Structure 1
Amino acid sequence: MRQSSKRLTQKSIRHRLILSMGAGFLAILTVICVGLWGYAQQAANESYDRLLHGAALAILERANLTSGEVRVDIPYSAFEILGLAKQDRVFYRIFTQDNETITASHDLRPAANYKPSERPVYWDDAYSGETVRFMQQARFLTGDARSLWLIVEFGQTCIARHDMVADLFWNGFAVALFITIVGLLFVWIAINRALHPLIDVEQNLRQRDISDFTALPVTPPREVASLILSINGFISRLKNNLDHSQIFIADVTHQIRTALSALQGQLELASKEQDPALQQGRVDKAERQSRKTIHLTNQLLAHAMVIHRADQKIVSDIHLADLIKTVLQSLLREHMKSDIDFSVSIAPEIEDGGPDADLIAGDVISMREALSNVIDNAIEHGPANNKIDISLFAKTGKRLNQLILQVDDAGPGIPEDKRLKVLERFYTTETASEGSGLGLSIVDEVMRSHRARLQLGDSALGGLSVRMIFSRKSGDT
């Protein structure tokens, strides 16, 4: 239930994309609205400022200076121009640069620090309890007696301006919102089309049979091609792994069943035997079969463990000299009373080459199992007075930096034409028919998982020589 609820809370790629695009469109719409509001205010001011400017020019053109007196004939057209804003009230004042009022509808104040100029000046201010747009414009009059600046000041309420700003803004916002909605709709369609290959993959995987390991048949776009290739690669690796597991399980079942059947047969024959000597012989055979079955079972478990750890890719630092000592100490305790002669030889360049001279990267448990199997194989198939030499040396050069772990024995050896076959599971030679056929197979599996090489040859002692060749790991890596 916890996993299903967690799955429900996870957003799909489609939702994440649409949310991201929606946030982007919202940000763009916000920027458009800010710009649209500023544009609407500027357009409304420019439109109605022209009305004030036109009315001021109409009045200033009818003003003159006669006999030192200013005379202004206010034309009716000036107020017709201002009357275009029907809902607004207009205040005006005509005065000279000396603040002498010629005519006025209200007592308006000139702009602060205003210097008369033929260019209009605009500003907003509160007047009569409303927001009013003011404008001042002047004209220089010249007469016989004197010259002066005549100034026209208008004040207009902002009702029409605000209506125009709202009209421009909301009309523009409606268009922008419509474009945003249409854009999001096209984005949704585009996302669905872009995700269609992934939907095909989902349906293919959901509908396929559990035993179907064929590659995904879709042709993906470049952005998800690596994902599809990875899935196909995983399917291929999974199929190979299952094939190997099924073969291994079938082999294990056959081997265990055969060994147990043989053990059961010996015990049944021993139970029916009347002659004590023959009965003891049957019991001895059953005991040998029991030991063989136990050894086979241990080898099968070791092989399964090696395969599992190889899939896990467990890597740590391994000192081969220490590994040899650990494995040899364990084997010596088991074969303390035997006549087998063990010898260990570590090259001087490794012993005197520093703490990292024998260092490799790998799984120490798998490596211990591999070396134990090599030595155990030499013990199992060699004579009672066997001699086993274990040596560790290095090969270095411009392109070569290898560590070689070699085990030589004085046993019967393996013919050259059988050396590849003995690396297969459950294969035994005529001279090693009592073995499980898994020892060298385990070693080969460990070598391949460590990207190392396994070489079988003739030993100087007359038996088999097993070489495990590793790439040395530098101490500073």
Structure 2
Amino acid sequence: MRVREPSLFSRLVIRVGLVLLIGASILITAAWYYGQTAANKTYDQLLRGAALQIADGITQTNGELIVNLPPSAFELLGFAERDRIFYRIVGLDGKAISGYPDLHLNDDLLAARHSPELETTEYRGAEVRVITVARALSDQAHSGWAYVILAQTTEARRTLASEVTQGAMLIVGIMVFLGLVGTYLAVRYALQPVTKLAYALRLRNPEDLTPMQTVAPQELQPFVEAINHFMTRLDQRVIRLQQFIADAAHQIRTPLTALSAQVSMLDENRMSQTDRERTERIKIRTGELVQLTNQLLSHAMVIHRSGVIKLEKVNLVDVARIAFHHTIPLTVDPDMVISFEAADPSLIVNGDPISLREAIANIISNALRHGAISRLDVRVIQAGQRICLEVEDDGPGIPPEKWDQMSRRFNAMSPKAGAASGLGFAIAAEVALAHNGLLRFKEKGATGFTVILDIPCAGENPS
């Protein structure tokens, strides 16, 4: 089973699309990280400012701490409307003097004396961001450190990070979409020379095997050169094949014709009965050899012209009439009734007149040799959008169960053929196929057995 390779277009689009998707994933991840960092930095600054303001509001008078919670500190944190705020103020003796006494109990507060400490933890079932700020206090009665522990839930910062990430995803998504559309259009435009090259090859005359002069991009030049090299070699082979067929037709037909003439000139009156029987067999075998040789050469010619010769509009009536006159021998039995009829003097098909003439001649020759007893009718008629050449004879015909075998090469034609076999129907079937037609048979009826060459009218499926 032949594996179908993907097109260059799909390969390029898929690969560029994968690069864009990988780049988009990296950008979205970077945007998520940036959103998290920006949100934490923004709200950490607010949290730090609020904690420092609360710390600045702690004073000591005669050894007693006085806590003044500034409203502005909570106003800063109020920008995050959905977040909750927790705080604890630790006095000089290490005991909580205000706020939530269970907030951040087990942490070492000494590190906050150097700089505010920030961390993320969990409090009362919610994730919180906690900052610890230390403030040194001293008076005549007592001195020491007071601590402000301020916590804020992280809903607002998660929302901000999500909004930043979604915005980045939207922008990246738009850019990826535009990139894919641009890639599709660019690749389609870039591959146009390939389509043009294929179109130029398709329109090329089958007989034209000269090198192509189509302008192609640099990447396609090796391909064009390979095609030109192949066509040059093919042209040389076709020339040699044509020369061989011409030589074979001349070198084989001439001595066979002479041999047939010499055999026919033998004087049988001076021969014995045995010699006359041998001479008759020689005549039969010589005739069969001439027929088979002509059919082999005809078959070679038909195969060569099929797919090479460009079909043209031809009058099938004229072609059939020429084949009829060339095939009916002058020595035909004078008692045999032979007729040619055409429903219309001009029935046009798209075809090769030489191949059609060979096909029709072989059908008529088969009818004469293996079918007709006293009557042979050749008709050209039109049936709808089809033109049919019918060859009818009053012979025994071919049984329907053997019709599918008749187009095979070297198949016996009928009981009348004896040892003879040939290529007549095989040639006709190949010509019909090359003309988008078919060779078919009509069962023997009251009038006789009919072989039909069925071809579309001109304009239907032209080559």
Comparing 191-200 with 247-256, greater Cα deviation is found at 247-256
Match of 2:98 in 1: 103
Residue 34 of structure 1, aligned match among 29, 32, 49:
29
Shift of 1:118: 4.2
Corresponding residue for 1:144?
140
1:19 matched to 2:14: yes
1:260 is aligned to 2:256: yes
State the partner residue of 2:193: 197
Q: Which position in structure 2 is the counterpart of 1:67?
A: 62
3-state SS in 1 of match to 2:119: strand
CA deviations over 1:149-172 (Å, ceiling 9, x no partner): 322111111221121112111111
* Contact 2:92 2:143 (C-alpha < 8 Å) held by counterparts: no
In the other structure, the counterpart of 1:207 is 203
Shift of 1:146: 4.3
SS at match of 1:252: helix
Pairing 1:158–2:154 present:
yes
Cα distance, 1:189 vs. partner? 1.1
- Name the residue aligned to 1:221: 217
Q: Kindly tell me: are residues 250 and 157 of structure 1, through their superposed partners in 2, closer, same or farther at Cα, counting changes over 3 Å?
A: same
CA contact (8 A) 1:93 1:101 kept: yes
In structure 2, which of residues 123, 126, 133 is the aligned counterpart of residue 130 of structure 1? Answer: 126
TM-aligned CA deviation for residue 33 of structure 1: 1.5
Q: Deviations over 1:323-382 (max 9, x none)?
A: xxxxxxxxxxxxxxxxxxxxxxxxxxxxxxxxxxxxxxxxxxxxxxxxxxxxxxxxxxxx
Deviation at 1:198, TM superposition (A): 0.6
Post-superposition Cα deviations, 1:139-196, rounded to whole Å, max 9, x if no partner, equal 3334335442322111111221121112111111000000000011111111011111
Provide the aligned C-alpha RMSD in A.
3.5
Corresponding residue to 1:242 among 238, 241, 244: 238
Q: 1:148 to 1:263 in 2, by over 3 A?
A: farther
- Tell me how far apart the structure 2 counterparts of residues 216 and 139 of structure 1 sit (CA, whole Å): 91
Unmatched runs of 5 consecutive residues or more in structure 2: 294-463
Moved more, 32-41 or 131-140: 131-140
Q: Is this contact kept in 1: 2:85–2:152, CA < 8 A?
A: yes
State the shift of 1:27 in Å.
Answer: 1.4
Instruction: Quote the Cα distance in structure 1 between the aligned partners of 2:172 and 2:256.
Output: 83
1:263 maps to a residue whose letter is L
Mean Cα deviation higher: 171-180 or 79-88:
79-88
In the alignment, the residues of structure 1 paired with residue 174 and residue 92 of structure 2 have an alpha-carbon distance, to the nearest angstrom, of 54
**Aligned 8 A contact 1:141 1:149 in 2:** yes
- The offset of 1:113, in angstroms, is 4.3
Q: Counterpart of 1:76? A: 71
The alpha-carbon distance between structure 1 residues 55 and 271, as it changes in their structure 2 partners (threshold 3 A), is farther
Separation (CA, whole Å) in 1 of partners of 2:185 and 2:57: 66
Aligned residues of 1:133 and 1:157 also touching (Cα < 8 A): yes
Tell me the distance in 2 between the aligned counterparts of 1:147 and 1:87.
Answer: 39
CA contact (8 A) 1:95 1:102 kept: yes
Partner of 1:122, secondary structure, is strand
What SS does the corresponding residue of 1:140 show, helix, strand or coil?
A: strand
Query: Residue 31 of structure 1: CA displacement?
Result: 1.4
Task: Give SS of 2:86's match.
Answer: strand
- 1:42-441 correspondence to structure 2 within 5 Å: 42-96=37-91, 99-105=94-100, 107-110=102-105, 112-114=107-109, 115-270=111-266
What CA distance in whole angstroms lies between the structure 1 residues aligned with 2:146 and 2:176? Answer: 53
Distance 2:260 2:172 in 1: 88
Structure 1, unpaired ranges of 5+? 298-477
Distance 1:232 1:140, change over 3 A: farther
Percent of matched pairs sharing the same residue: 33
Q: TM-score, normalised by structure 1?
A: 0.53
Q: What secondary structure is seen at the aligned counterpart in 2 of 1:154?
A: strand
Q: CA deviation at 1:70?
A: 3.1
Between 1:215-224 and 1:37-46, the stretch displaced more is 215-224
CA contact (8 A) 2:137 2:145 kept: yes
Mark the CA change 1:108 to 1:204 in structure 2 (over 3 Å): closer, same or farther: same
Report how many residues are paired: 283
SS at match of 1:123: strand
Deviation for aligned residue 1:51: 0.8
Q: CA deviation at 1:253?
A: 2.1
User: How many angstroms apart in 2 are the aligned matches of 1:210 and 1:90?
Assistant: 87
> Cα–Cα, structure 1 residues 88 and 157, in superposed 2: closer, same or farther, change >3 Å?
same
Letter in 2 for 1:258: T
SS in 2 for 1:17: helix
SS of residue matched to 2:212: coil
SS at match of 1:229: helix
Q: Tell me, yes or no, if the aligned pair for 2:118 and 2:130 is still in contact at 8 Å.
A: yes
Shift of 1:96: 4.1
Aligned-pair distance for 1:273?
Answer: 9.9
**Could you list the per-position Cα deviations for residues 183-242 of structure 1 after superposition, in whole angstroms to 9, with x for gaps in the alignment?**
111111110111111111222223333223243343222223212221222222222222
Distance (whole Å) between structure 1 residues aligned to residue 57 and residue 94 of structure 2? 20
CA contact under 8 A between 2:103 and 2:123: conserved in structure 1? no
SS at match of 2:107: coil
Contact 2:92 2:145 in 1 (8 A): yes
